[in-house]
């Protein structure tokens, strides 16, 4: 017998289904405590999903080798923004892992491990290390249902340590909107600001994720700036 290269499926994954029948009781509730049918999920768990950001770990290596602190802050912001490209065309949610479930990824230049550390609310935590950096984060998120859309607000921060420069960065992420759930074609967009803080130098990068407007205006558009400190960033924001 030959090897099987793909799994069979009994239901067309592109088939339409009535989301309203499933979500009508979830209006105004915390969706972390709401069970959805299995066909809402893509075939991987959250501890695997959070590993996708490591596709861009080479940016962290380059940042650690850079001698300009402003450029390093830009690179960390670029690393943080890059993680959202993997959501294009992916409307389904990953499975919630069981409490204590782990996922390990070993590469020649880094190692990564994630664990499900909370069941209610579901939270995955991960840690990656190499000779250039340490990276750690958790997936703690507050979900809310708003009629034809869902909003996911990240609560936990992402952290990066550049070992050569002994610098600690934190990243506060933008909101994620799952739009047109019941009417129209469902899509995901990221809206708001990502704030990257270099706690060693005080520099702050603000990356703005624009909401898509009529006719696709500002679709998948981001804009970012680096400031000398949080006070300068706040001053620029107040002028805008």
Residue showing tokens 């919630």: 96
* Domains identified in the chain and CATH numbers: 38-239 (2.40.160.120)
**CA distances (Å), origin 92, targets 38, 193, 239:** 10, 24, 39
**CA distances (Å), origin 132, targets 51, 107, 190, 199:** 18, 14, 29, 18
The Cα 136–Cα 128 span in angstroms is 6
**CB-based contact 112:104 (threshold 8 Å):** yes
**CB-based contact 138:123 (threshold 8 Å):** yes
Residue showing tokens 């958790």: 138
- Whole-model pTM: value is 0.81
Cis peptide before 121 (omega within 30 of 0): yes
- Which region among 3-12, 86-95, 188-197, 199-208 has the lowest average model confidence (pLDDT)? 3-12
- Which region among 43-57, 112-126, 141-155, 160-174 has the lowest average model confidence (pLDDT)? 141-155
* 179-229 confidence digits (pLDDT tens): 776 676 777 888 899 999 999 999 999 999 988 777 777 777 889 999 988
- For residues 131-137, give the mean pLDDT: 96
**CB-based contact 192:175 (threshold 8 Å):** yes
* Alpha-helix runs per DSSP H in 7-155: 19-23, 46-49, 57-65, 69-82
DSSP letter assigned to residue 238: H
* 164-176 confidence digits (pLDDT tens): 999 999 999 999 8
Most confident of 39-53, 87-101, 128-142, 172-186: 128-142
């Amino acid at each position: 017998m030959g090897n099987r290269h793909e799994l069979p499926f009994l239901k067309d994954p592109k088939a339409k289904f009535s989301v309203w029948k499933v979500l009508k009781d979830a209006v105004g509730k915390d969706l972390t405590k709401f069970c959805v049918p299995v066909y809402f999920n893509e075939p991987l768990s959250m501890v695997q999903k959070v590993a996708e950001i490591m596709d861009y770990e080479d940016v962290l290596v380059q940042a650690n080798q850079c001698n300009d602190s402003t450029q390093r802050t830009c690179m960390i912001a670029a690393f943080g923004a890059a993680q959202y490209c993997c959501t294009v065309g992916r409307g389904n949610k990953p499975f919630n892992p069981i409490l204590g479930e782990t996922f390990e990824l070993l590469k020649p230049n880094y190692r990564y491990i994630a664990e499900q550390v909370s069941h209610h609310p579901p939270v995955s935590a991960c840690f990656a290390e190499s000779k250039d950096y340490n990276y750690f984060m958790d997936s703690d998120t507050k979900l809310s249902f708003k009629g034809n859309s869902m909003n996911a607000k990240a609560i936990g921060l992402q952290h990066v340590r550049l070992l050569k420069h002994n610098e600690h960065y934190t990243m506060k992420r933008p909101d994620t909107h799952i739009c047109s759930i019941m009417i129209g074609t469902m899509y995901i967009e990221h809206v708001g600001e990502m704030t990257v803080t270099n706690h060693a130098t005080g520099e702050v990068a603000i990356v703005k994720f624009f909401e898509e407007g009529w006719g696709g205006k500002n679709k998948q558009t981001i804009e970012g700036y680096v400031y000398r400190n949080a006070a300068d960033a706040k001053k620029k924001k107040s002028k805008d």
